[in-house]
A and B are shown apart, each in its own frame.
Chain A
């Protein structure tokens, strides 16, 4: 079946540090890939997406590149801020397949000033 594996958290960084959260996937078809973010007390919201191989999704300084050869979609940010503290979820959906969002377990990021 379809699944997403992301790095265990929590991750604690100092402000302006470089962030990488690893995400790999297995899929029965050709997936679209997503990162969602959940800020404290709020619902998940879509952060960025990529729908085909080599696409780069980007938003709010975050980036992730769809790597078909390594089945990965790692999230990166060059300089994190305290306001980036949140839980980050990697997810996929296989169009024409189950058409359900399949999530990873989430990675909690804390950024200290």
Chain B
């Protein structure tokens, strides 16, 4: 089946620094990629939707200047958390689809970000 990878799987950074998370579709071209955030014991919350070569569409309440999303190719999207703070510590998950069927998302295994 289709595989989506994320790198790194875990990252610890100091407050005020930026951290980049990569999401790759390994064996297919992704028309659309999604970024989710999951707090402990909470639902996955959609942060943004990105299409290759276009600006990402952010969900209400998500700061686009803080969570920079770049979808430079059909197999790679990156999420950069800028000037990270401890409240940004969370589990970040990406997913990708090949067509337009929204529920047929292929999910990455997630990245655990801890900001100290």
Contacts and interface: CB of A to CB of B under 8 A. Distances in A.
Main SS class of interface, A = strand
B106 A43 contact: yes
Interface in A57-113: 89, 91, 93, 99-106
Nearest to A106: B43
Main SS class of interface, B = loop
A45 interface: yes
A65 to B, nearest CB: 18
A44 B105 CA distance: 9
A43 B103 contact: no
Contacts of B110: 43
A89 B44 contact: yes
Contacts, number: 47
Interface in B34-76: 41-44, 46
Contacts of A93: 102-103
Contacts of A106: 43
Contact of B41 (A46, A91, A101, A105): A105
Contacts of B93: 43-44
A49 B102 CA distance: 13
A39 to B, nearest CB: 10
B65 to A, nearest CB: 22
A32 interface: yes
A83 B41 CA distance: 23
A103 B103 CA distance: 11
A45 B105 CA distance: 8
A100 B32 CA distance: 13
B107 A45 contact: yes
A34 interface: yes
Contact of B43 (A4, A38, A49): A4
A105 B102 contact: no
Interface string A23-52: 000000000101010100111111001000
17 contacts: A34-B103, A38-B107, A41-B109, A43-B95, A43-B106, A43-B109, A43-B110, A44-B44, A44-B105, A45-B1, A46-B103, A49-B103, A99-B102, A103-B43, A104-B43, A105-B42, A106-B43
